Amino acid sequence: MLSSTDCEIIKTMQNPELTIVIPCFNEESNISQIVFRFEQIAAQLPSFEILFVDDGSKDKTVEQILSYKGATKDFNIRLLRLSRNFGHQLALLAGMRSSLGEACVTIDADMQDPPEVIPDMVREWKKGYDVVLGQRGDRFKDTWFKRTTAAIFYRIMIILARGDFPANVGDFRLISKRVVDVLKSLPEQSPYWRGIVVWVGFKRSFVTYKRAERFSGETKYPFIKMVTFGVDALFSFSKKPLLFVVYSGFVICIFGAIFLSVYIFLKLSGYALVPGWVSLISLITFIGGFQIICMGVIGQYIGRIYEQVLGRPQVLAYPPELVVPSEQKH
Ligand code: UDP
Ligand code: MG
């Protein structure tokens, strides 16, 4: 379990209103740009801290961050070092666990998501929204391949997982402390925050922005990692693939039954058929289908066990707000 005391304090500030969590994996060439960009917008933000989460970088990311030790800035900088590379989503979890602010913003280190949008997010939060999602207005800076695969992925998620899954939303978001508290209490081993943030509910709002190109360095999400990420997302939010197994079993069974009926009909009508062939095929098809149905049924139970093991709370609620005292009876 990590706590805020596990962080290296580069400059102290007791209770910042906002924590900016920035996961970094080999991002040495982006650190000074990050600090520069936040200096530019510091005046538009409430008191804040930047919490760098070093996800086991092998380059000079840590040295770059530590070079700010003793520097005077309008904001606090903290560094949390993970013991090895755990991956982007777990780096975000570690950051949220160590967040001190009343709200927490997560943003990538490569400045593809512009920090200049954060003041708008803060405004939405102050209006009472607990979740403010950064939504990419256009993705023309992304490759055709990335845009197409992303579009397919969002459709699949909407159909199979959640109808309210927002398209073109990444991990650039602001969440209030109460949402942070829910997220960090979840025992999920492979959290997919974009889905979980939708699942938690609460009042949510969007801020649209233009996604820029990576400031420097290379993407840490090559194709295979992206596919794994998508599969994680789907399976941690949908049991529908298991239902497809059951349905496909039924379809195969029905084929088997049709084969068999046609065979019997032709036989009774006196057609000369190759002996044993159709009956064998139809029986194999029918039994094969039945086995697939059985697997699907077992899968349904495993799906329920999985849901139980995920250990998400059954229900989340706001604390009671409206209190109307009843009349005292004497
Ligand atoms: N990242 C991380 N650990 C990893 C991979 C990525 O902390 O194992 C961070 C990375 O440094 C960046 C963010 O996650 O701040 C998003 O990565 P990237 O920009 O490479 O993803 P893309 O924008 O290409 O999808
Ligand atoms: Mg990026």
pLDDT per residue over 64-80, tens digit each? 999 988 788 889 999 99
Q: Six-digit token pair at 111?
A: 């400045």
Please give the C-alpha separations between residue 67 and each of 56, 129, 208, 324, in angstroms, as whole numbers: 18, 36, 34, 55
Q: Six-digit token pair at 200?
A: 């938690």
Backbone angles phi, psi at 324, to 5 degrees: -110, 105
Instruction: Share the mean pLDDT of the chain.
Output: 88
What is the average pLDDT across 116-124? 97
What is the average pLDDT across 106-119? 95
Q: Distance from CA of residue 37 to its chain's centroid?
A: 26
pLDDT per residue over 161-199, tens digit each? 877 888 888 899 999 999 999 999 999 888 999 999 999
Asked if the 5-237 domain carries CATH number 3.40.50.12140, the reply is: no
Determine which helix (DSSP H) or strand (DSSP E) holds 208, and give its type and residue range.
Answer: strand 204-210
Atom of ligand 1 nearest to the CA of 25: 11
Residue 263 pLDDT exceeds 90: no
pLDDT per residue over 272-325, tens digit each? 777 777 788 888 888 999 999 999 999 999 999 998 998 899 899 888 778 787
Rounded Cα distance between 248 and 320, Å, is 47
CB neighbour burial string for 303-326, b if at least 16 within 10 angstroms, e if fewer: beeeeeeeebeeeeeeeeeeeeee
Which ligand is located closest to the Cα atom of residue 86?
1
Give yes or no for residue 130 CB within 6 A of ligand 1: no
Residue 270 pLDDT exceeds 70: yes
pLDDT per residue over 39-57, tens digit each? 999 999 999 999 999 999 9
- Residues whose CB falls within 8 Å of the CB of residue 19, separated by 6 or more in sequence, listed in order: 48, 49, 51, 95, 99, 100, 101, 103, 104, 105
Residue 2 is predicted with a pLDDT of: 45
CA dihedral sign, ordered 14, 20, 23, 24: negative
Q: What is the best residue among 21, 82, 83, 110 to mutate for testing ligand 1's pocket, by most ligand atoms within 8 Å of CB?
A: 110
Burial class (CB in 10 A: 0-12, 13-18, 19+), 34: buried
